[in-house]
Amino acid sequence: MPYCPRLSLVNRILSWFGRGAGVNERSLSSDETEVGFELLCKDGVKRVQYELQQIIRNGSSTYSSLMTPTQDPYLDWYITYLDTKLQSIGPTLKSTFYDSNSTTAEVEITTTVKFYQILSCVARELTSNEILPTMNELQESVSQQYFRYSHDNKAVIQILFIAIGLLTMLYEPELDPAGNTVRVLRPQYVSGLPIATETITRYAYSLKDISDLQTHQLLNSFGRLIPGSLAWAQNIPTPVEADIFLEQVVVSYLNFHTLSKVAKIQIVFVDSLSLHLELDEKAKMLKVFRFPSYCRLLCSEYSRGSSKDFPPIATYLSRLYDDYFSGQEYSHDQQTTIMPHAEDLARETPLSYRLLFNQTPKSRKAFKTYYMKYVRAAGLTNLDPLLTDLSNSDCSQSLYRYISASESGQQYYAKREFPLLGQRLLTLQNFVLSQNPSDWDGLRHDRRDILRYYTFWAVVWGASISIPLSLIQCILSLIQTYYTIR
């Protein structure tokens, strides 16, 4: 029987998962080979996707044939997102995934499987090692496992940089970088113009400059890609009660209705979690991360709960965040220091959505309208259905219950509820408080000070009643005077 390339790929897929390549070409008909090829391709992709799911969920990548992937709409969204990114990777980098002698049938399945295997490998390396690997060490590990044939080490490092960006969502990597560089995409507004940011301070590096950097050092080289400051997040009791008040974030100041109607702030949806809640005061633009499903995915049942009673399980992000914050100065008083975890950012982000978009009916309605207009104007793709659910109080409540959110209130203590994002929320709040409405629309929607709001409307309604009555009285007096003279 002549050589069958598809059967050869079937055997290769089997060998990837430890079953051995024991399929005999003479024992299968062409129809059976075709069916087996299709089934094994689907099975192979599902297996590598499930392996990634296990690592995201609990840090384990152990696969058993008895295990079945969990039906999770948030994971389904993330897998769809990753598939879309895979299609956008440049052809030069994509050619690294397969042998130059591969057939057309082999290219598609090999590219997909290798892509997810590399994502899983990077996540494992970030989880299992006591010291985070450098980019060179990561490249060597991945190459030994998945690139046994001739390959370009520089292209592998570029692929790894893309993988780290897709796994952490802290930056949006350029999927087709030019030359021997790695690049971070600039955030853009609806018009396609770049948006100013202080978080990302550099957008490109040569491969030579990053090859000896550990992962957390790589993030630092592009800017402060993990929000928050460990020193600020310390839960040190403040002796002055007024200072405690200054660290409260208040719903009436930060809800979307106030931001848009009173402070005239525009929301810009971004793909990078590091930019979430960054305010551009000059342009009056607030950046909001548009993929809450990613945060919900990281808040697995294994990592929920108090970090004191139930320490978060070691996920692929935990060591990255720990090493990132280890270089910052902080108090070593264990009774007063909050140590931020990777799961804290994933939990705080949905809570910030509740604060901005979900706690008042007017904010929910205004956000739903604004978001749909924004999507049409910007032509956004990879839409996250959970973001639209934020405008539905019933749908969003299940999310907040899942992440064990505290009861909603009218104000929150920033250091306790938002140890990583609290500084950005307070910056936003201070900016909103500094704004004074200059038109009728802003005045009638200004509910920042509820007493002043009702006083304003009492004056308006009183004036609307007293002025017409005064006019009527004047008219009647003129009429009376007229008839008296006659």
Q: What is the pLDDT of residues 299-325, one digit of tens each?
A: 764 444 444 444 444 567 877 887 777
Q: What is the pLDDT of residues 117-149, one digit of tens each?
A: 899 889 888 877 677 888 998 998 888 888 765
Q: Which two tokens stand for residue 5?
A: 């390339």
Kindly provide the b/e burial profile for residues 356-390, where b requires at least 16 CB atoms within 10 angstroms of the residue's own CB. Answer: bbbbbeebbebbbebbeebbeeeeeeeebebbebb
Mean pLDDT of 445-458: 59
State which H helix or E strand residue 205 sits in. Answer: strand 204-206
Whole-number pLDDT of residue 67: 47
Whole-number pLDDT of residue 38: 55
Across the chain, what does the average pLDDT equal? 76
Q: What is the pLDDT of residues 184-231, one digit of tens each?
A: 999 887 766 788 899 999 999 999 999 899 888 898 899 988 887 655
**Positive/negative CA dihedral, 249, 255, 256, 259:** negative
Amino acid 413 reads Y
Query: Which 3 state secondary structure label does DSSP give 462?
Result: helix
C-alpha 180/C-alpha 365 separation (Å) is: 47
Q: What band does 448 get if pLDDT is binned at 50, 70 and 90? A: low
* Degrees, nearest 5: CA angle 428-167-378: 55
Whole-number pLDDT of residue 359: 87
pLDDT reading at 39 higher than 60: no
Range with the lowest mean pLDDT among 36-50, 227-241, 355-369? 227-241
Expressed in angstroms, the distance from the first to the final Cα of the chain is: 125
**Residue that is written with structure tokens 């450098």 in the block:** 134
| Higher per-residue pLDDT: 165 or 336 | 165
pLDDT reading at 175 higher than 80: yes
Q: Is 75 exposed, middle or buried (0-12, 13-18, 19+ CB in 10 A)?
A: buried
pLDDT reading at 46 higher than 90: no
Whole-number pLDDT of residue 424: 93
pLDDT reading at 478 higher than 50: yes
pTM summary value: 0.80
Q: What is the pLDDT of residues 272-288, one digit of tens each?
A: 999 999 999 988 999 99
